[in-house]
């Protein structure tokens, strides 16, 4: 009898052990009850999902088969959530702390929401890159419009800041509808309030004459622009930030290396329609088929009257003109490589506008004037009435949002066209544009060049 009881006890214990092992091996945590658990896939010094691939091979798959166009895959629901190590620092704290925090964030490259959606980047993907300054309410409206975009959960959203603030960081933290990566421009005015590339107290005033500047011995006396004016830091920052973010995204962000799909450039005061991703994908297919010379896709336009009923699936082929085709620009790495080859031309052109400078490259450096496929019914709207170039006193972003919401609702039946086709051609072209100035200072030119030619920038000289 005792022998039977011992055998029964052993069977029960063995069954208990097997059941526990089964639970431990197969259990996956359920995060569905939490609005934003975050993944630190670059949480340690080494990039774990790149260098320790064997240990997480069920989570990461970098395809090598000849017929597979997948360039980067992280499957969802495979990483356990890690403790959040994102520090909130406000502007009153030591700028050195903020600078160190920014460098840490840029280095770690933490992509949020991977546990939920995973990430697959291939030639059909659209990566969105938003350049953000400090207009929190405008950014909130853009994010709300992105939430409604079909296919957004498959999109990597990269938000590039030149201001570090708790409010902006908290808003980005609340994005729970797609993978999100924050990056920070390390040469911002915020981080250099009293020295280049910010406003050095010993810099020359904008309108001082060169002779007076030389007598005064202000720092940049020898480097006015072609119109005799000295640099204004707030205008120079935008061009620096634009070039830096492209360099950082393409050349430093690990998941983007080798990426051949589209990058869509947005700004904090834009608003997008729900069909922007499928429309861009159809535009890309059309470009490959019927406009191989088109280097840029323009999802937005500035036309005051938008006829979605007639133009919902129509595009125009045109020569790229910065003032017409700079909103909602999308392109792939081929154009970035051409911009890099023209780095000196870009950085030495005496104009503080990145788009006017790109227009110059199109005329003088990039082979053949750039052509664009432009949506005739815009998928991107410009919301901003206040900002660097706009000083209107009536800044009411919520009222503007209501207008855009109504326009989208009224044209809902015309969105998501089945096909996109070429509806017209424009032969209008610009000669090499006359520079607007604001970029004569050699320090700006050298800092700009450092983003591409020498990645260890030296500033303040």
**Binding positions:** 131-135, 162, 237-241, 269, 382
- Largest pairwise CA distance in the chain: 112
CB atoms within 10 A of CB 272: 25
* Six-digit token string for 51: 């260098």
53-85 exposure pattern, b = at least 16 Cβ within 10 A, e = fewer:
eeeeeebbbeeeeeeeebbbbbbbeebeeeeee
Provide the annotated binding site for Mn(2+): 269, 382
Q: Which residue has the tokens 């503007």?
A: 400
Residues in CB range of 13: below 8 A, 6 or more apart: none
The SS3 of residue 169 is: helix
Q: Where are the alpha helices (DSSP H) in 59-134?
A: 95-108, 114-117
352, 437 Cβ separation under 8 angstroms: yes
| Of 31, 51, 29, nearest in space to 41 by CA | 51
The DSSP element (H or E) to which 222 belongs, if any, is: none
251 CB-contact burial (10 Å; exposed 0-12 / middle 13-18 / buried 19+): middle
Q: What phi and psi, each to the nearest 5 degrees, are found at residue 230?
A: -100, 160
Q: Please report how many Cα atoms fall inside a 13 Å half-sphere around the Cα of residue 188, on the Cβ side.
A: 23
Provide the annotated binding site for substrate: 131-135, 162, 237-241
Residues in the chain: 461
Q: Give CA torsion, residues 131, 133, 134, 136, to 10 deg.
A: -10
Distance, in Å, from the CA atom of 115 to the CA atom of 81, rounded to the nearest integer, reads 8
CA distances from 132 to 112, 260, 451 (A): 18, 24, 19
Q: Which residue has the tokens 């017409």?
A: 324
Q: Which residue has the tokens 């079909």?
A: 150
The DSSP element (H or E) to which 17 belongs, if any, is: helix 2-26
* Six-digit token string for 8: 């029964």
């Amino acid at each position: 009898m005792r022998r039977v009881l011992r055998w029964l006890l052993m069977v029960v214990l063995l069954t208990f052990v097997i059941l526990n092992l089964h639970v431990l091996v197969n259990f996956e945590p359920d995060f569905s009850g939490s609005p934003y658990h975050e993944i630190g896939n670059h949480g340690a010094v080494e990039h774990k999902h790149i260098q320790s691939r064997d240990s997480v091979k069920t989570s990461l798959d970098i395809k090598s088969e000849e017929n597979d166009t997948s360039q980067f895959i992280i499957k969802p629901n495979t990483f356990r959530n890690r403790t959040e190590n994102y520090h909130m620092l406000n502007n009153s704290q030591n700028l050195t702390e903020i600078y160190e925090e920014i460098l840490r964030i840029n280095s770690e490259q933490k992509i949020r929401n991977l546990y939920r959606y995973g990430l697959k980047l291939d030639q059909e993907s659209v990566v969105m890159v938003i350049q953000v300054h400090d207009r929190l309410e405008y950014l909130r409206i853009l994010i709300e419009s992105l939430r409604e975009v079909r296919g957004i959960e498959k999109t990597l959203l990269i938000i590039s800041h030149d201001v570090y603030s708790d409010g902006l960081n908290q808003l980005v933290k609340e994005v729970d509808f797609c993978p999100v990566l924050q990056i920070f421009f390390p040469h911002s005015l915020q981080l250099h309030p009293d020295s280049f590339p910010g406003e050095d107290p010993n810099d020359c005033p904008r309108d001082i004459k060169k002779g007076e500047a030389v007598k005064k011995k202000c720092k940049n006396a020898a480097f006015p622009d072609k119109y005799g004016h000295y640099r204004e830091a707030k205008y120079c920052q935008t061009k620096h930030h634009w070039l830096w973010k492209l360099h950082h995204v393409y050349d430093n962000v690990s998941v983007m290396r080798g990426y051949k799909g589209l990058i869509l450039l947005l700004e904090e005061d834009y608003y997008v329609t729900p069909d922007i991703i499928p429309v861009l994908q159809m535009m890309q297919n059309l470009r490959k088929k019927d406009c191989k010379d088109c280097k840029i896709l323009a999802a937005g336009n500035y036309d005051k009257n938008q006829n979605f009923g007639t133009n919902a699936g129509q595009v125009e082929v045109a020569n790229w003109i910065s003032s017409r085709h700079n909103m909602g620009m999308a392109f792939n790495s081929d154009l970035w490589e051409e911009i890099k080859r023209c780095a000196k031309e870009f950085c030495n052109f005496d104009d503080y506008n990145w788009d006017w400078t790109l227009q110059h490259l199109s005329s003088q450096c990039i082979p053949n004037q750039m052509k664009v496929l432009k949506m005739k019914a815009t998928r991107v709207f410009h919301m901003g009435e206040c900002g660097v170039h706009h000083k209107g006193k009536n800044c009411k972003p919520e009222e503007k949002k209501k207008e855009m919401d109504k326009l989208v609702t009224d044209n809902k039946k015309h969105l998501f066209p089945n096909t996109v086709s070429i509806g017209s051609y424009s032969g209008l072209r610009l000669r090499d544009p006359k520079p607007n100035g604001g970029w004569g200072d050699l320090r700006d030119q050298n800092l700009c060049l450092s983003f591409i030619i020498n990645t260890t920038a030296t500033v303040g000289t």
